Chain A
Amino acid sequence: MRLRWALVALGLLASTAPVVASNAAVGLGDASARAVTIPTWLYLLSGGAVVGVSALLAGVVTDRRLLAHVQGWGPHREVPAVLWRLRPLGPTVGLLLVAVVIHQGWTGPQLALVNPAVAIAFVGVRALVPIVAMTAGDVWRWLDPVQLVGTRGAAPDGDRWPAVGVYALAVWLETTAGVTDSPRRLAVAVAVYLLAGVTITRLWGYPVWHHRVDPIAAVSALLARVAPLRLTADGLRLRLPGVGTVVDVPRDDADAPLRPGELALVLFMVFELTFSGFINSAPGTEAVGVVVGWGLPPLVVYLGLFGMGAMLTGGGYAAAAVVAHRRIRTTYTPEMLALVFGPTLLAIAAGYHLAHYLIFAVSASPLLVAAVTAPLTPLSNPVVLAPPAWTQAVPAVAVLGGHVIAVGAAHISGFTAFPLRRTAIAVQVPFVAVMVGYTMLSLWLVTVPTAAALFL
């Protein structure tokens, strides 16, 4: 046992060393006596190596009891009963915030930085709801205002495919329809969203809206599986981040931890952040500019990128599942393998979200505070915090951390799903290979300079 821990420690040391060195590439090495300029390819390779090494080391740990211990670790606390009594206030708070967004968005100043609607929608919901969900648990279940017109209940039959569609539409509108710049358009979008929620709840019941259609609820519920904190009726439990994505012991050959639509949603979460990262980067705008120069309308170019990127993300993962299926002898189908390892992608999605939104959420938090404390007045003196220099390491650390956690979770999932240990290790290899590739792509995106997307 002690040997294993020593190996794990050695591995951590080995895998962090390249990161420390590669930080020099993003300007943190200035303090050292001899600054080393590192080419981007080496920086990316080092990042990929971190994920690869963490997978190699995870493969060494084959003791099921140790893995169960890792999975079950964490203290448990009772929560004060007052928390449950406060619970009914959540949807009312949510409704007030939505009302502010619609009212202020429509009537307030049409300038994004001073309009409270934009601060609440983009700092509060877009950036912070997923961040709170991935750290403290499913926050949207508490805030969702639509539950005021319906009753909560068990998840209905059927998948989250509608949520995938609504999510894709929302991301597309965010990219192309200028809801970030025009508070009035934002107000219309939020009103349509609320109206859709109320209509669906009235027609088919709240569970259909919450468990099948609402993309915010889906993102919040799925990311909550990564959260180190878990609030249940028994109290609050602390656990290692990501262990909540590990599969339960399967009951039969079709007992998947995710439904296909949920897997599509998780893959879309990963893709969506890559897409917005790409089109808002200098190489991205350059590439789009070149293609537009050939005479294609910009919207078609963006739609093509959107579609192709989504296909590539899904296709890469599907290919990993097919290859994994060929590598092992199992009665599972490739689809089932994709679903077994699907939840581990949530750690990656969480890492990407932090990489893209954490600094933004922190630096724009005064806007949100001002918007919430004085919702009816435009922000007369908008304050944005300037992040200190070291925070530029946050995106890379978040991307790498998400992937490393995902590798660990995939390892434990493999051991839960397969009785033979060598199968459990062999099945992970294609998934890890895809993860290494995706790590390098995402690291590249967070290191290139950002640029406002053109033609939108």
Chain B
Amino acid sequence: MAEPLRCAHCDRTFVDAERRLAHTALRHPTTLDPEGITAYRALYRREQRRLRRLRLELIGGVVAVYFAVFVLYTVVG
């Protein structure tokens, strides 16, 4: 594994620049320069798109579990 990247403001390390950027934006937001802010916005939006899909899958999972349990109860009862 490559050498981990260290946060410039605390002792946490990260496997890649994306994670370090997200950490800096969340934990040390005042230290971000305008370029960093733009980069974080882009990262956030990218993540948002992926999360939208994940969220649908999770809700689908809830419905599937509920449906499965319901069917089981109908069959057994």
Contact = CB atoms under 8 A, between A and B. Distances in A.
Contacts of A391: none
A62 interface: yes
A48 to B, nearest CB: 10
A290 interface: no
Does more than half of chain A's interface fall in helix, strand or loop, or is it mixed?
helix
B64 to A, nearest CB: 9
Contacts of B77: 36-38
Interface string B5-41: 0000011111110111011011100000000000000
Contacts of A62: 51, 55
Does more than half of chain B's interface fall in helix, strand or loop, or is it mixed?
helix
B73 A36 contact: yes
A425 interface: yes
B65 A39 contact: no
Contacts of A420: 18-19, 22, 47
Given A21-B73, A42-B72, A420-B18, A252 B10 contact: yes
B50 A49 contact: no
Interface string B36-77: 000000000001001100110011011001101100110011
Nearest to A418: B19
Interface string A49-89: 10011001101101010000000000000000000000000
Contact of B62 (A11, A39, A331): A11
Contacts of B55: 59-60, 62
A42 B73 contact: yes
Contacts of A18: 66, 69, 73
Contact of A46 (B4, B26, B69): B69
A39 B19 CA distance: 48
A421 B49 CA distance: 12
B12 A45 contact: no
A53 B47 contact: no
Nearest to B52: A62
B12 A252 contact: yes
Nearest to B10: A251
A331 B51 contact: no
A64 B14 contact: no
B76 to A, nearest CB: 6
A257 B51 CA distance: 28
B69 A56 contact: no
Contact of B66 (A17, A42, A64, A419): A17
Interface string A17-53: 1100100000000000000111100100110010011
Interface residues of B, number: 33
A252 B4 contact: no
Interface centre among A62, A249, A419 (most CB of B within 10 A): A419
A258 B77 CA distance: 46
A45 B69 contact: yes
Interface string A234-253: 00000000000000011111
A56 B65 CA distance: 10
A49 B12 contact: no
A107 interface: no
A14 B10 contact: no
Contacts of B23: 419
Contacts of B14: 331, 419
Contacts of B10: 251-252
B65 A52 contact: yes
A422 B47 contact: yes
Interface in A410-456: 419-423, 425
Contacts of A17: 66
Given A38-B73, A422-B47, A252 B58 contact: no
Given A53-B62, A329-B15, A39 B76 contact: yes
Given A59-B54, A330-B15, 10 more contacts: A7-B59, A42-B72, A45-B72, A56-B62, A59-B55, A62-B55, A64-B26, A253-B12, A331-B15, A422-B54
Interface of A: 7, 11, 14, 17-18, 21, 36-39, 42, 45-46, 49, 52-53, 56-57, 59-60, 62, 64, 249-253, 329-331, 419-423, 425
30 contacts: A7-B59, A11-B62, A36-B76, A36-B77, A38-B73, A38-B77, A39-B76, A45-B72, A46-B69, A49-B69, A56-B58, A56-B61, A59-B54, A59-B55, A60-B55, A60-B58, A62-B51, A62-B55, A249-B27, A251-B10, A251-B11, A252-B12, A253-B13, A329-B16, A329-B19, A331-B12, A419-B20, A420-B47, A422-B50, A425-B54
Interface of B: 4, 10-16, 18-20, 22-23, 25-27, 47, 50-51, 54-55, 58-59, 61-62, 65-66, 68-69, 72-73, 76-77
